[in-house]
Amino acid sequence: MGLTNFVLTVAGVSAVVLLLRSDVKQSASIFRRNVKHIRNWLEEESAASSKLLLLLSFFFLFLIKKHADIVSSMGCNPSDGLVWSMEKSTPKELNSKVPPKDIHKEDKH
């Protein structure tokens, strides 16, 4: 009886080990495949973002050049910084008189 229990235990443990071993191999291969897909996605996103960054850089340089052209056509030196208007603005005086507010009595409900 003891020998039978030992043989059945060894057979059961062996079967479990074989099933788990094939399951682990299958899980590992699925994991490797998923890692490859994720790596490809990250590389594609990285390439797309670098292209977008390059495009934005060219657009920004275009805007700077356009601003310099506009400023120089106005007769100003583009190296003076941003030019908002050719005229020097003088501060406007504010009316010191404040119109009186209408004071309403609160309606009782």
Asked if residue 26 belongs to a domain, the reply is yes
What is the per-residue pLDDT across 80-109, written as a single tens digit (0 to 9) for each? Answer: 555 455 455 565 666 666 566 665 666 555
- Identify whether 46 is part of a domain: yes
Nearest Cα to Cα of residue 66 among 85, 82, 87? 82
What's 97's DSSP letter?
Answer: -
When divided into structural domains, the chain yields a total of: 1
Residue 40 within any structural domain of the chain = yes
Residue-level length of the chain = 109
Residue 87 within any structural domain of the chain: no
pTM of the prediction?
0.41
The letter for the amino acid at 43 is: E
Whether 29 is in a domain gets the answer yes
Q: What is the pLDDT of residues 2-54, one digit of tens each?
A: 888 889 999 999 888 888 888 888 888 888 999 999 999 888 888 888 888 88
